[in-house]
Structure 1
Amino acid sequence: MGMLASALSSFNKKSTLLQMLTSLAKTVGRIPASWGRHAWSIGSEDPRRAVHALKAGTALTLVSLLYILEPFFQGIGKNAMWAVMTVVVVLEFTAGATICKGLNRGLGTVLAGCLALLIELVAAGTGKVLRAFIVGASVFIVGFAATYTRFFPAIKKSYDYGVLIFLLTFNLITVSSYRQQDVVSLTRDRLSTIAIGCAICLFMSLLVLPNWSGEDLHSSTVGKFQGLATSIEACVNEYFRDQDEGDDVLGKQEARASIQIGYRAVLDSKSSDETLAHYASWEPRHSMHCYSYPWQKYVKLGSVLRHFAYTVAALHGCLESEVQTPPSVRSLFRGPCTRVAREVAKVLQELAASIKHHRRCAPDVLSDHLHEALQDLNSAIRSQPRLFLGSKHACAANKRVLLMELNSGSGKLSASRAALRSFKTDATALSETRNARSDQPPPPSDRSERSGGLLRPTLSKIAITSLEFSEALPFAAFASLLVEMVVRLELVIEEVKNLERVANFRELATGHNHLIVDLGSKEKTRNSNAAALHPVSAAAE
């Protein structure tokens, strides 16, 4: 029996080990397939990535011929590796980035080579000790000066890479000249190989399926407008969707998660906008851009859009707030709010279309439909003063109760306690009343009982009135943000028109009918928007 148990135990261990090995083999076999799917998804998301990878491989193959082919190797020698290093470092995804780094590298190498040759001419007729002193002093002075200039904002923005290459090349040539006699040939070979590498990079970037930084910046700006329009409509629709019954919880979470995609792309675009605008300024004027194109205007427009996106983010915050207005109250304002969001989204779509097609938008892009939607929202808020003026009713009720107690002769102490309690919030007053009722026994005097009996219904009335106000308060914030969005939309429109004027967008075609209708006066729109900004005060009127 012992031998049988031992055999069974050994068999179980072998089977367990076999299962583990089989599972490991299946997992390892699935890894290449998952990697392949991931790589394919990256390429399908933007096919230009695969094209750029092919261009980089072709450029490296071409520059490697300088080292592989015998005639080129005899003429250049081991310095051919500088050309390979240049291609690896300079070739970038967009043409502007490649031109910027290529010219920086070429200019830095030329200046460093000329300065190193000048130092070599000065130190050529001196002794070994004095020559070493001159080399060390020149390396220190040039290293200090070049490193310090990298802190200048203008240098750091456009020529930081060039200063770095200048510093590297100068030190290599100057220090190696102390041991090597033929410095001129060394400088010539390095300059020629770097020039060959930069030429190959510029050829692949400018002439073989080029990717322009300016076009990327232009497309990303159009995408920001479209993403904001989508986020606004989705946010408002989701805000009023809570009153519907039978909604899928998972679908609701996915819908709410997709809202922030649009405005997040705008809020996180500052660095990419500045980089693309900087690289676009280095690009040659292609297609219709035959003049100095105002790429920095796109950066300024992106800054205005980010301020607009802050309002959209705050609107999304109202949707995610823990304190929400009940669906019965929200349903009263669903139509006007949805109309305002829809009209704002239409204006953003119109601005996106005008930028995309390089044409001017309508003279007054704010539509009369948006103005009417704001008026409807203001009228809807005015029609429900009880929801927004509960605090005034509460104060009036408190005064009446206080006068009743004073007239009934309850005394100054009782009056002061009633006054203090009347200014407390509904939750605090109710909780303190319950605690006092449960912890302390009721006083034996009849006067105290009458006073307590008088305060209890009063506190309930205050609590109900304050509760109505607190329930409408989240919606008041939501409505104010909608109107604030319209006001900031005017700033966005002004910046778009500045871009159109400086970039020489073509005029709007005659007979072009869109959603936009002239309002006649921007001051009228601003005044009506300002009135709607304070729905509570407007309802008080």
Structure 2
Amino acid sequence: MESSHVISIANEEDNNNNDNNIAQMKNETNTHLEKNKNLSFVPITSNPKDKNNKQIKSDHDIKKMVHSIKVGISLVLVSLLYILNPLFDQVGENAMWAIMTVVVISEFNAGATLGKGLNRGIGTIVGGGLGCLAAIFAQSIGGVGNSIFIGTSVYIFGSVATYFRLVPKIKNRYDYGVVVFMLTFNLVVVSGARPGVKVWELARERLLNILMGFIIAICVNLFVFPLWASDELHDSIVSRFHNLANTIQGCLEECSKTVKENQPDTSFTVCKSVLNSKSKDESLANFAKWEPWHGKFGFSYPWQKYLKIGEVIRELAALILALERCFQASKKITASLKQPKKVQLEQCEAIGSRIVWTLREVGDSMKQMRKCEGRDNTIDKLKTTREELSLVISTSMIEEFENGEMLPIASLVFLLMEVVEKVGELVIEVGELQDMAGFRTR
């Protein structure tokens, strides 16, 4: 149901009320900031984004080095099957399958490695088992029927497996397993076409070597400085609350400054990166589902809710990008505005400050994994804020729309109303996550 915008008729009494509303909103914001000193605004001139980006890049470089060292350790351990004569006598040339397994399944995150390893193991077992049965049955037929049966079975299983790879749910989590199934089935059934080949022994040896490679890769990945996809997804979602809050704050600070020629605009690269985060979120959520119970994340954790929160954040980032032009256009006409119009613009700035505080408060509650205090009260305040915004535009403003002077401020007001509504939706989604995940109350 679409919301209606209320347009009030301004008079002197309304202007006095507007002054009182602005003072009240500023007092509320200052009170919140006093109670939460760690949430105080960071001046945009201190370039907090640059510092954060450097810290994130440094941490990511360290994680890349750790992952590289872990893969090297895994390869050394699995190569012992080839290097040490007692082990080589047991596994023989099939040790190459163990090395291939370590190379293929070693991924950056523990969840990705575990998921890929399990897919490879299940695909090998199912493909090898069906391949052995098909090869043995083909050998029992003999003659031309042997080749016909093998060709038919390869065609049927290959076609069916390829069809399943196109199913979205299977492709997202089990695509690699289906590929390994096709490869293993074809190798085993075709190898069994030759007389004298012991199909069961061939499949058993390859499965054992793949299992050894899988155990080595998983143990190193899980027990040597593990890198969890769940931690990365959680931290990534939390950081976006503060990044978007900093972006809105930068808009407010620039809007209150005197316009100068060639004055640099606020950087909105954060919003653009948020808009491009969907594929990364989906990959991390998929990997996180494979991970065992660790740290603050248990089994059946609501990762799907994280994806929903990420979607709402992307919608909010798109609105903030649209706000950029409105803020820039609004501050260019601020100097020529009369006092009543400045009051209306100050109202927008006060409401923007309230939005910034809400985003930071919700982001901090997610970071600390605690329930947001006064969640219902926050939602009620956002509804009240939206009603206050609907009263900002007066008929006196509409009379000036003919020359287009006040259009930027009017657009700013309507966009702020949408931002407030989207922030309210975000508060509700985070509240549902807190209930589903069992966040602590304090």
TM-score range (shorter-chain normalised) is 0.7 to 0.9
Specify whether residues 72 and 43 from structure 1 end up closer, same or farther in structure 2 by C-alpha distance, changes over 3 A only: farther
- Hey, what does 1:514 align to over in structure 2? none
Specify whether residues 377 and 365 from structure 1 end up closer, same or farther in structure 2 by C-alpha distance, changes over 3 A only: same
Q: Is the 8 A contact 1:333 1:377 kept in 2?
A: no
**What value does the CA root-mean-square deviation take over the aligned residues?**
2.7
* TM-score using structure 1 length: 0.66
- Hey, what does 2:237 align to over in structure 1? 221
Q: Does 1:126 align with 2:126?
A: no
Q: Is the 8 A contact 2:278 2:311 kept in 1?
A: yes
Match of 1:502 among 401, 420, 436: 436
Q: Secondary structure at the match of 1:477?
A: helix
Specify whether residues 128 and 489 from structure 1 end up closer, same or farther in structure 2 by C-alpha distance, changes over 3 A only: same
Match of 1:345 among 356, 377, 386: 356
- Hey, what does 1:83 align to over in structure 2? 98
- Hey, what does 1:310 align to over in structure 2? 318
Specify whether residues 244 and 151 from structure 1 end up closer, same or farther in structure 2 by C-alpha distance, changes over 3 A only: closer
Deviations 1:171-199 (A, max 9, x none): 11111222361222221121111111111
Q: Percent identity?
A: 40
CA drift of 1:50 comes to 0.9
Aligned residue runs from structure 1 range 68-107, under 5 A: 68-107=83-122
Q: Does 1:389 align with 2:399?
A: yes
- Give, as a single letter, the amino acid of the residue that structure 2 aligns with 1:103: L
CA distance in 1, matches of 2:81, 2:59: 34
Q: Does 1:147 align with 2:162?
A: yes
List gaps (5 residues or longer) in structure 1.
Answer: 1-39, 392-465, 510-541
* TM-score using structure 2 length: 0.80
Specify whether residues 43 and 360 from structure 1 end up closer, same or farther in structure 2 by C-alpha distance, changes over 3 A only: closer
- Give, as a single letter, the amino acid of the residue that structure 2 aligns with 1:491: E
Q: Does 1:167 align with 2:101?
A: no
- Give, as a single letter, the amino acid of the residue that structure 1 aligns with 2:309: L
CA drift of 1:200 comes to 1.1
CA drift of 1:314 comes to 1.1
Q: Is the 8 A contact 1:336 1:374 kept in 2?
A: no
Q: Secondary structure at the match of 2:378?
A: coil
- Hey, what does 1:366 align to over in structure 2? 378
Q: Does 1:336 align with 2:377?
A: no
Match of 1:294 among 302, 311, 321: 302
Q: Secondary structure at the match of 1:505?
A: coil
CA distance in 2, matches of 1:378, 1:290: 44
Specify whether residues 372 and 174 from structure 1 end up closer, same or farther in structure 2 by C-alpha distance, changes over 3 A only: closer
Radius of gyration: which is bigger? 1
Q: Is the 8 A contact 1:340 1:370 kept in 2?
A: no
- Hey, what does 1:235 align to over in structure 2? 251
Deviations 1:447-486 (A, max 9, x none): xxxxxxxxxxxxxxxxxxx32xx01111110121112211
Match of 2:192 among 164, 177, 185: 177
Q: Secondary structure at the match of 1:366?
A: helix
Q: Which has the higher contact order (CA 8 A, sep 6+)?
A: 2
Greater mean deviation of Cα atoms: 282-291 or 138-147: 282-291
Specify whether residues 273 and 41 from structure 1 end up closer, same or farther in structure 2 by C-alpha distance, changes over 3 A only: closer
CA distance in 1, matches of 2:330, 2:393: 23
Specify whether residues 142 and 278 from structure 1 end up closer, same or farther in structure 2 by C-alpha distance, changes over 3 A only: same
CA distance in 2, matches of 1:162, 1:296: 23
Q: Is the 8 A contact 2:259 2:332 kept in 1?
A: no
Q: Secondary structure at the match of 2:290?
A: coil
Specify whether residues 297 and 375 from structure 1 end up closer, same or farther in structure 2 by C-alpha distance, changes over 3 A only: closer
- Hey, what does 1:4 align to over in structure 2? none
- Give, as a single letter, the amino acid of the residue that structure 2 aligns with 1:124: Q
Specify whether residues 365 and 64 from structure 1 end up closer, same or farther in structure 2 by C-alpha distance, changes over 3 A only: farther
CA distance in 2, matches of 1:315, 1:99: 43
CA drift of 1:371 comes to 7.8
Q: Secondary structure at the match of 1:196?
A: helix
CA drift of 1:48 comes to 1.2
CA distance in 1, matches of 2:190, 2:147: 9
- Give, as a single letter, the amino acid of the residue that structure 2 aligns with 1:261: T
Q: Is the 8 A contact 1:339 1:373 kept in 2?
A: no
